[in-house]
Amino acid sequence: MTSLPNMRFPDRVAHDFPLWCEGLSGPPLLCGHHDADGLSALAIMARAWEMHTGERPPLRIVGRGENAWTPEFAAALGDDLHGLVLLDLGTAEAKPTDAPLCVIDHHVPTSEADDRLVLSGYGQDPVPSTSLIAWWAAKGLVGERADPLLWLAYVGAMGDMADKGFPDIDRARKLYKVGKTREVVSLVNAPRRSPSGDASPALEWLLASDSPEDALTGEHPARAACEAARDVVKQATAEGRRAPPRFGSVYGSDVAIIRVDTPCQVHPLIAQSWAGRLKPAICFAANADIEPGRVSFSGRTRGDADIIDFLAAHAPAGADRTRYGNGHRKAAGGSLPVEQWNAWVESLGFDARVKVG
């Protein structure tokens, strides 16, 4: 699929996506990451496809402990797909299906395979959220009818802190109140962090709403599930914030690890909050209660550090690279089996207080 040379990225997205859709024999399966950005992108794509064909395409959230680039995921998809759209799920090598594949993403890519349409915002300046790229794609598919979906792009962009420097998001900021949009982001992100990790109420809520205002004030039963999840997550976050950062002998004050063991996926929030206080350190928060036998960890920095590079330089031998060291330069992590985690922190000079078991 060739684009015109020198096309601006948003125009290239709007140009290439409809061409990709033309080659499909039926509705593609839409898969999205479970955070505000991925869920918003899913909602945009689903509604645009429905405008385009009159039919709601199948949807699937890729949630906690799942990765779209693993053989397990490919097996779960089956082989009767018309097409597959992966939203906010990274860009890796293994193709999960023989059906036409479209990847819409903005994480650091780990593949340049050309047997698929890749609409990656990585390398653009600034880097757009997946939701905004999805909206540009929707715009290409259904034209002005995508305009009422712009608020969803705004929700995703705000959720990923990628809402500065884009004329379309500037326009959304004038149309929709910042405070209400922030409240939607907060509620949409809650279910995936709750002990169940099930983000489907958040997606249901976004799919049923017409604006941040409508989402917060209209009759939306799924909102109550998001509110309940947020209460639980708030409690776990407050407790997690009391855990002290630890430092190892290899990097001293430049690398901190904070242990926060809870069935709530709040370790990225804890890492984020310590990164703000401990600049220029890389802060990793680690959680051994998310997945049995594994330690999930998340790194954040406000300084110049490159966490992707750091993790690559310190990759444990035999680490599963679909589950280690992916994400953004300033926000990346992964999960390791307990034994590998313990060896990893030891190699960085940390003592038993950050080891598990």
Contact assessment for residue 57 and residue 44, using Cβ atoms and an 8 Å cutoff: no
Give min distance, CB of 336 to Mn ion, in A.
23
- H-run or E-run covering 185: helix 178-188
- H-run or E-run covering 274: helix 267-277
Binding-site size, Mn ion (CB under 5 A) = 4
Stretch that binds Mn ion, among 55-63, 130-138, 196-204, 253-261 (CB under 5 A): 130-138
Q: Does position 105 bind Mn ion by CB under 5 A?
A: no
Give min distance, CB of 37 to Mn ion, in A.
3
33 or 323: CB nearest Mn ion:
33
160 or 204: CB nearest Mn ion:
160
Give min distance, CB of 107 to Mn ion, in A.
7
State the Cα–Cα distance between residues 346 and 186, nearest whole angstrom.
36
Residues sharing a CB contact under 8 Å with residue 237, sequence separation 6 or more, in sequence order: 264, 266, 269, 270
Contact assessment for residue 355 and residue 125, using Cβ atoms and an 8 Å cutoff: no
164 or 277: CB nearest Mn ion:
164
State the Cα–Cα distance between residues 266 and 94, nearest whole angstrom.
30
Q: Restricting to residues 40-69, name those near Mn ion by CB under 5 A.
A: none
Residue 211 identity (one-letter amino acid): S
Q: Does position 37 bind Mn ion by CB under 5 A?
A: yes
Give min distance, CB of 267 to Mn ion, in A.
18
Q: For Mn ion, which residue of 91, 97, 120, 130 counts as binding (CB under 5 A)?
A: 130
Residue 55 identity (one-letter amino acid): E
Residues sharing a CB contact under 8 Å with residue 94, sequence separation 6 or more, in sequence order: 69, 70, 71, 74
Q: Does position 16 bind Mn ion by CB under 5 A?
A: no
End-to-end CA distance of the chain: 51
Q: Does position 160 bind Mn ion by CB under 5 A?
A: yes
User: Using CB under 5 A as the criterion, what x/- string covers residues 241-280 for binding Mn ion?
Assistant: ----------------------------------------
41 or 283: CB nearest Mn ion:
41
Q: Does position 163 bind Mn ion by CB under 5 A?
A: no
In angstroms, the Cα distances linking 268 to 7, 90, 92, 111, 252 are 36, 18, 22, 25, 21
Give min distance, CB of 140 to Mn ion, in A.
20
Q: For Mn ion, which residue of 88, 255, 259, 266 counts as binding (CB under 5 A)?
A: 88
Stretch that binds Mn ion, among 83-91, 92-100, 114-122, 275-283 (CB under 5 A): 83-91
The backbone region for 218, taken as left when phi is positive above 0, alpha when psi lies in -120 to 50, beta otherwise, is: beta
Give min distance, CB of 88 to Mn ion, in A.
4
16 or 37: CB nearest Mn ion:
37
Nearest residue to 191 via CA among 87, 39, 42: 39
Q: Which residues bind Mn ion (CB under 5 A)?
A: 37, 88, 130, 160
